[in-house]
Amino acid sequence: RGLATLQLEAELHHWRVCFREYTAAQKAYVEALYGWLNKFIVPEVEFYSRSKNVGMPMPFQVNGPPLLVICNDWLNSMRKLPDKTVALALKSVVKDVKALRIQQCKEQQQKRKVESLTKDLDRRYLGSYQLKTKMLELQVTDHRSEEETEEECMMEKDDYLETLRRKLEVEKEKHYVCIQETQRMTLNGMQYGFSQVLESLTEFSKASQKMYNDLVTFSENSEKAGNISYIEGGCNAETCNSQNGQ
């Protein structure tokens, strides 16, 4: 069970790393694309302003070239995606799984301790039984001196057995408490942790879908409106059609 929990912890950690790398790669791609498109902007046309938040040109929605506007909106939208919420939820559940693994190890150690004490007590009970059998044999043969010695030894063994029995009961109670804590962490902590991960992923997916739907809508509207390109070597819908006709 501990090995399975360790593997789960490793997989969740890998999941979190992959998710963060995925979102970082997406942002880096759009940033690179935006920067590349900026190199082809016609310098005589001023259609953008500087933004302190973004740190790069911000095209006006009305007059800016559609490609640049789309990339800018794409980048800004990606920065608003709740990817950090997903990463934090995964980090939290990894922490919970690690705590569960430690608790399981503690439970197993306590279990082994109980099993060891149980075996020791059983072995000593067997020795006590054999001693009592020997005492009965001495009574039959009427060996008084040996019988008195054996009785004293028997009393000492009984006292020690009682001490061991009480110790075993204490350790069994500790083991029971460990089991209860493991079950609590599994049912409550893990269930809550995974539900948070799934909920955050759902919200991230919804936000991502809305982002791409909005970008597609803007692109379609720009094509219908025939927006001016303002990109060197580029053309809008009207000029491109006339050039193709020639």
**Sequence spans of domains, the chain:** 2-239
The per-residue pLDDT for 150 is 55
The per-residue pLDDT for 110 is 93
The per-residue pLDDT for 9 is 93
- Give the list of residues 6+ apart from residue 203 with CB closer than 8 angstroms, or none: 82, 85
The per-residue pLDDT for 105 is 93
The per-residue pLDDT for 40 is 75
The per-residue pLDDT for 54 is 47
Closest CA relative to residue 71, chosen from 92, 40, 43, 102:
40
> Which stretches of the chain drop beneath a pLDDT of 50?
44-62, 228-246
Length of the chain: 246
The per-residue pLDDT for 70 is 87
The per-residue pLDDT for 38 is 82
Q: State how far the Cα of 29 lies from the Cα of 106, in Å rounded to an integer.
A: 47
| Residue 179 · residue 108 · CB < 8 Å | no
Q: State how far the Cα of 67 lies from the Cα of 48, in Å rounded to an integer.
A: 13
The per-residue pLDDT for 128 is 67
The per-residue pLDDT for 207 is 95
State whether CATH 1.20.1270 applies to domain 2-239: yes
